[in-house]
């Protein structure tokens, strides 16, 4: 009897130790209020990017928030963001309108369905556009623009002659090139869907503006949706936002190798959705996922937050923004400390 009791206790300790070892921490999102017009529920922010110390906020439909017939992106000063996070200010962040001059862009894009991603390099801006061709198939476009923030009237001028078409990897409805980064003079875009059941050969699209050539590089499969990217850092690393939406039928039976390898946090175990950041590295042979746990975001309820904007905030964390699901949200995520990261070895 004593041996049986000892064996039972040892088994329980083993199971408890195992469950602790695969438990994953979650990072809270500190919400930051935005002033009008970005506080509107239908602002539908689709991308974020730093141009110097100005955070460019890109609505998917930039004419929706204008009080006139013009279209606008918006700029938020980094100093104002820090003032709020440091408790020096409690007022909603006010954004400066940046006039968007599209020229004949919409004549060159068959059926325009909004802006999806952006990347900035000094005074050059690159934009990803979602569109529908004449055969009713979704596809992506990338266009170059010039941005001027120092003029009395800040503006962005699109150069529609530098326009590239990107075929849809999934050919799915309402799915486009949702993330973008600049690397060594080239533009790299990521399709929203990279599920291995839907996209046989996961890849990132590459545009070389100096030669106008297009190509692809290897990119690992990732379940659910890819919705935005940070810029490349000095170590050729970047983060992607990975989101599982409860309304996507294709996600309901999808295998999640990241959960299998690293476990899931408390709210991820409770709710259906997935909200996480996954880090990658650009190498000479393609893109690889770093063998480390993703940053799982602490969820507040069963309705997921579709984070479609993502940038780093220096070396302290990230800024994120949603589209209209479930509302317009803007927030800060602190980088987890090394002691919070518990890695479960891969079983491969």
Let me know if residue 346 belongs to a domain.
Answer: no
**CA atoms of 196 and 97, how far apart (whole Å):** 40
The verdict on residue 193 lying in a domain is: yes
pLDDT at 14 over 60: no
CATH label of the domain that carries residue 163 = 2.120.10
Residue 65 belongs to what domain range?
A: 26-334
Q: Is the pLDDT of residue 175 over 50?
A: yes
**Strand runs labelled E in 14-101:** 26-27, 30-31, 45-51, 54-59, 71-77, 96-101
310 and 318 Cβ atoms separated by less than 8 Å = yes
Q: Which residue matches tokens 């990230």?
A: 318
Let me know if residue 16 belongs to a domain: no
**Is the pTM value of this prediction over 0.75?**
yes
Whether residue 14 is contained in a domain is answered as no
**In the prediction, which pLDDT does 338 show?**
60
Q: Cis (ω within 30 of 0) for the bond into 326?
A: yes
Residue 4 domain-assigned (yes or no) = no
pLDDT at 254 over 60: yes
Average pLDDT, the chain: 90
Average pLDDT over residues 307-321: 98
21 domain residue, yes or no? no
Beta-strand ranges (E) seen in 209-324 are 213-218, 222-229, 237-244, 274-283, 286-289, 295-297, 307-313, 317-322
Q: Which two tokens stand for residue 81?
A: 């963001």
Q: Is residue 244 part of a domain?
A: yes
What's the mean pLDDT in 182-199? 94
DSSP type of residue 110: S
Rounded Cα gap, residues 213 and 189, in angstroms: 14
Query: Distance between CA 298 and CA 306 in Å, rounded?
Result: 13
The answer, yes or no, to whether residue 252 has pLDDT greater than 50, is yes
Beta bridge partners of 51: 54
- State how many domains the chain has: 1
- Report yes or no on 18 lying in a domain: no
* CA nearest to 320, candidates 49, 64, 101, 74: 49
């Amino acid at each position: 009897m004593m041996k049986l009791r000892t064996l039972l206790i040892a088994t329980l300790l083993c199971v408890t130790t195992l469950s602790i070892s695969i438990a994953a921490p979650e990072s809270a999102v500190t919400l930051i209020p935005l002033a009008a017009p970005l506080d509107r529920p239908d602002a539908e922010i689709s991308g974020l990017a730093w141009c110097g110390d100005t955070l460019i906020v890109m609505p998917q439909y930039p004419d929706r928030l204008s009080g006139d017939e013009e279209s606008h992106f918006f700029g938020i000063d980094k100093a104002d963001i820090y003032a709020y996070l440091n408790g020096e200010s409690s007022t909603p962040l006010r954004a400066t309108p940046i006039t968007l001059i599209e020229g004949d862009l919409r004549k060159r894009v068959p059926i325009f369905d909004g802006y999806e991603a952006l990347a900035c390099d000094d005074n050059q801006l690159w934009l990803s556009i979602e569109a529908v061709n004449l055969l009713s198939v979704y596809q992506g476009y990338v266009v170059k623009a010039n941005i001027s923030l120092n003029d009395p009237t800040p503006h962005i001028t699109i150069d529609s002659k530098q326009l590239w078409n990107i075929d849809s990897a999934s050919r799915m409805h309402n799915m486009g090139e949702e993330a973008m980064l600049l690397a060594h003079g080239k533009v790299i875009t990521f399709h929203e869907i990279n599920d291995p059941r839907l996209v046989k050969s996961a890849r990132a699209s590459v545009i070389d503006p100096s030669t106008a050539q297009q190509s692809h590089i290897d990119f690992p499969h990732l379940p659910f949706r890819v919705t935005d990217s940070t810029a490349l850092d000095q170590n050729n690393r970047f983060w992607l936002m990975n989101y599982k939406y409860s309304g996507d039928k294709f996600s309901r039976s999808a295998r999640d190798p990241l959960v299998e390898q690293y476990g899931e946090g408390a709210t991820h175990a409770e709710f259906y959705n997935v909200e996480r950041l996954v880090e990658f590295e650009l190498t000479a042979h393609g893109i690889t996922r770093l063998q480390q746990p993703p940053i799982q975001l602490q969820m507040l309820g069963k309705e997921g937050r579709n984070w479609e904007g993502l940038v780093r905030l220096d070396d302290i964390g990230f800024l994120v923004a949603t589209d209209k699901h479930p509302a317009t949200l803007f927030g800060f995520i602190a980088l987890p400390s090394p002691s919070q990261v518990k890695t479960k070895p891969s079983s491969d």
